[in-house]
Amino acid sequence: MKSFTPILHVGHNLLITTRVNDSAPVFFLIDSGAFDDTISPEFAQEVTKVYGDAHTTVKGIGGSVNKVYRADAVKLEFSHFRHERQGLVSFDTSRISDGAGVEVSGILGFAMLRLMEVKIDYRDGLVDFQYDPDRFH
């Protein structure tokens, strides 16, 4: 299990330390129910340019998001995986952070997770991601 990475299991949330554009490690939520990777605007402003996006609507279990932004160039690094994105959706994650009791700076969502085989060891608090280039394109 050398390739596995420790995660923080808080309630039903799985949080993994993530670096964004060579930042210090922060927590991102692993959420296969989220449409895509997202980032909080407060954190995004620390690592890249952020601009408003009046054309994107984000809805979830808790309702609609009032203000949506886009984060410019973003390089996500978690576990042994690196993922570069442009125009990453950004919205306030404070409700997620409040519920988890720890700052959650973003979400790793389905659009990226579907490209991988994800193995979770709940007992030991570990996760492994294996990228499969032939999986769903």
3-state secondary structure the chain: CCCCEECEEECCEEEEEEEECCCCCEEEEECCCCCCCEECHHHHHHHCCEEECCCCCCEECCEECCCCEEECCEEEEECCEEEEECCEEECCCHHHHHHHCCCEEEEECHHHHCCEEEEEECCCCEEEEEECCCCCC
In a domain, 137, yes or no: no
Residue 99 maps to a domain: yes
60 found inside a domain? yes
The boundaries of the domain holding residue 87 are 5-131
**Confidence label for 132 from pLDDT (cuts 50, 70 and 90):** confident
Query: What pLDDT is recorded for position 63?
Result: 67
Q: Does 67 map to a domain?
A: yes
Is residue 136 included in any domain, yes or no?
A: no
Which CATH number belongs to the domain containing residue 122 in this structure?
2.40.70.10
pLDDT by residue (tens digit) across 58-116? Answer: 876 666 777 889 999 999 999 999 989 999 999 999 989 999 999 999 999 998 898 88
- Whether 3 shows a pLDDT value over 80: the answer reads yes
Q: Tell me, yes or no, whether 110 lies in a domain.
A: yes
* Number of folded domains that form the chain: 1
19-71 tens-digit pLDDT = 999 999 999 999 999 999 999 999 999 999 999 988 887 876 666 777 889 99
